[in-house]
Amino acid sequence: MTARPLPAPRAGASPARVEALRTLCRVEEDRAFADLALEAAIERAKLSPRDRALTTELVYGTLRWQRRLDWILAPHSRRRLERLDPWVRNLLRLTVYQLQFLDKVPAWAAVNDAVSLAKRRAHGEAAPFVNAVLRSFTRGGGGLPLLPDDPVEAMATRLAFPSWLARRWAQQFGLDGAERLMTALDERPKATVRANLLKCSQAQLAQRLKEEEEVACSATTFAPEGLALESPGPAARFKVFKEGWFTLQDEASILVGHLLGPKPGETVADVCAAPGTKTTHLAALMQNSGKVVAMDPHAARLKLVSQSAARLGVKIVECHRGSAEALAPRFTDRFDRVLVDAPCSNLGVLRRNPDVKWRRALADLPRLALRQRQILDAAASMCRPGGVLVYATCSLEPEENEGVVLPFLDTHPEWRLEPPADFPIPLEPPAVLRCLPHRHGTDGFTAFRLQKSK
């Protein structure tokens, strides 16, 4: 089903809310990825910096708290929310998100704006309904309805997670651990960047950001070249970004490159390379000496690797189109180190991509694990005797991590888990990096460091 077009804004309509609503409808009806749909909407509408920020806040905030918003809306609607036109449902959600979580716009103004938007839809037929629901909500003082009796269901409702995922995490981490994990994933993440060590130090980048962009930043806790930015704005528009001094990358993701630990002069493969964030980090750790072979089956995404390498001044990346399985026979026993940044459920990065909560299902995990096993088998064949392989996912799910690596080790006795000589964060024995949002303040990542016998 394709989202119906939203009429062009009239004078006085909020461009930020118009584009936020358009984006939310695309995510729900077209299953568009929120980050891509949002970027396209912002660029098309040529929003001011202030409206860009508000549009982003409304889209991600509404998606992040979607289940909770539906819970507090339901008593005020005479119709079941799931039966509403998606446009109306998302208009109600984003308005209630604004009323509950933002405080810069008075309640009456937010309601009036929503009704104004509703009047432009289907000859204004939705306007009386939207007005009635929101007036009822505001008259009720925003009081909350009763939570489900089941403690996991109550937690999932209150913290806005799908029941199946909340139940899994309660079993995996305990009820308290699951609550702390979900609370961390509900937080707005700071923008974290990786200083490009080929062009600058961490301190030099921090100084330029402060002087030229008026952006304060602090060193990340674990990654030696990471910086956490305060109120960064559109960082990709900064002059220092365009000059290749940094790239956006979470601290956990940076640590994956350090776990592989490539050295200058080595030959390294990144078998799931696009868009190139980790690829270019490997090249920086190698001081632009040696070779990094970047592989990806999609030509358009592989082009992003080349573009990123060019911007950052990386000269040792060689791109090859194709899957790991297709390319493996060409590169048998060729690489000193291999990175498998496996395609996964992305359930560890929900604070950055909250729409993933609502597009994933339990049935996805075994399907993804099968693909991950195929990639790991192929990647391992490319590693020379004595070489190192890191298998990583931005997921905390056992099926995608231990469920892939341990069976591989059982059937490949020439491989073993082997820790690096030193590492900036304690590893789970013997050689597992597990970054947890509620413990480390990072995205959720899991990575295994394996070494092949000589």
Q: Enumerate the active-site residues.
A: 394
Query: H/E/C letters for each residue in the chain?
Result: CCCCCCCCCCCCCCHHHHHHHHHHHHHHHCCCCHHHHHHHHHHHHCCCHHHHHHHHHHHHHHHHCHHHHHHHHHHHCCCCHHHCCHHHHHHHHHHHHHHHHCCCCCHHHHHHHHHHHHHCCHHHCHHHHHHHHHHHHHHCCCCCCCCCCCHHHHHHHHHCCCHHHHHHHHHHHHHHHHHHHHHHHCCCCCEEEEECCCCCCHHHHHHHHHHHHCCCEEECCCCCCEEEECCCCCHHHCHHHHCCCEEECCHHHHHHHHHHCCCCCCEEEECCCCCCHHHHHHHHHCCCCCEEEEEECCHHHHHHHHHHHHHHCCCCEEEEECCHHHHHHHHCCCEEEEEEECCCCCCCCCCCCCCHHHHCCCCHHHHHHHHHHHHHHHHHHCEEEEEEEEEEECCCCHHHCHHHHHHHHHHCCCEEECCCCCCCCCCECCCEEEECHHHHCCCCEEEEEEEECC
Residue 398's alpha-carbon distances to 349, 405, 436, in angstroms, are 16, 10, 14
As a whole number of angstroms, the distance between CA 128 and CA 122 comes to 12
As a whole number of angstroms, the distance between CA 209 and CA 94 comes to 33
- As a dihedral over the C-alpha atoms of residue 112, residue 115, residue 120, residue 121, rounded to 10 degrees, the angle is 160
Residues in the chain: 454
Instruction: Answer yes or no: are the C-beta atoms of 399 and 365 closer than 8 Å.
Output: yes
Angle of CA points 216, 351, 300, to nearest 5°: 90
As a whole number of angstroms, the distance between CA 153 and CA 50 comes to 37
Buried-state track 183-199, b at ≥16 Cβ within 10 A, e below 16? ebbbeebbbbbbbbbbb
